[in-house]
Amino acid sequence: MLEPRRATRREATKTHQPHSNEPCPHRGARLVCCIRSLAYHPPTWSRPEWNTGEAERGDVMALFRVDCPVELREQRWIEQSMAWFYAEFGDEPLRRPVVLPTKEFFPGTYDGSISAIRAVIDRVCGYAQVDPDLIDVRCYGDSGEQDLANAVGLTVRSHSAAGHYQRVDGRAVIGIDQTLGSTPDRLVATAAHELSHVRLLDEGRISADRADHEPLTDLLTVFLGLGIFTANARLTYRRDDRRSSTSTLGYLTEPMFGYGLACYAWLRSEQHPRWVRYLDTNPRAYCQRGLRYLAAHAEPAALPHGTGPSER
């Protein structure tokens, strides 16, 4: 049998409490009231009474806590690496405009030819502060796999390297997959990564034997203002009427790119940077989450663990 519903505080104040010898003014309605009290009442929302204990307060505050989008080990590596970049390159890269996929930064026409590819790389050289006369650019590869996939409607998943860096006869040589000519954004991302090798290896800042030199090179593209391209190129999905393709590029994960961009913006004293709208959905979400985390845990233009060069 259903339990009688307890009167609320407001109902209790209105309930008549007669003395033992005082007649009830609602004698005729007593039976009806008793029957109604046994009827089913649908549950109604009421504000919970929070326990004020320390553990319970912690549980409540957890609902509003903003976590870092990467694990603690990755967070410390990113923050300390960004601090190391600052010590190595100064604040000049932070004062330059963020490179965007717009006509302002890449003017003129682009037709995907070898000469057009070289023109894009020369422009990226300027943004990465690399003298284009000091490097050789070589295009390699062909579009045989891509053409076959287009012809028969296959789904393509490519994990091949889109570029490489090496030294030949004392000169830096940048190799670029010529199939990138059809995707200029990925071409810029690849060029940014390879030119960051030049900044780190050719300038003697790190050794090629360093265990994290490839991820560090990816992160340097962010510090140099080219992170929108490398973050967007991390995962690319395309689909048309006949086929779909998924390709990956780079060594950092999307959350790491996103948090790296958040640290970059924070060091530039940008809490709500307008350039995040040029990021794809995933890196943009991770970047914005990282900015919220930094706003809650970091001093302006400083990083929680970025007290100096990374120690490895």
What does each C-alpha distance from 112 to 90, 137, 163 come to in angstroms?
35, 15, 16
Lowest mean pLDDT among 46-50, 135-139, 266-270, 273-277: 46-50
Is residue 307 in some structural domain? no
Amino acid at 171: R
pTM flag (> 0.75): no
Residue whose structure tokens are 């059809």: 182
Is residue 304 in some structural domain? no
- Cα 285 from chain centroid (whole Å): 5
For 119-169, write each residue's pLDDT tens digit.
999 999 999 999 999 999 999 875 544 543 444 444 433 333 678 888 888
Is residue 207 in some structural domain? yes
How many structural domains are present in the chain?
A: 1
> What confidence score (pLDDT) does residue 66 get?
86
**The domain containing residue 262 runs over which residues?**
72-297
Is residue 124 in some structural domain? yes
**H-only helix segments in the chain:** 9-14, 30-38, 54-62, 72-89, 92-95, 114-128, 144-152, 184-197, 213-223, 227-233, 254-267, 281-297
Give the full edge-to-edge strand order of the sheet including 244-248. 156-158, 244-248, 235-239
Is residue 99 in some structural domain? yes
The secondary element (H helix, E strand) that includes residue 166 is strand 163-168
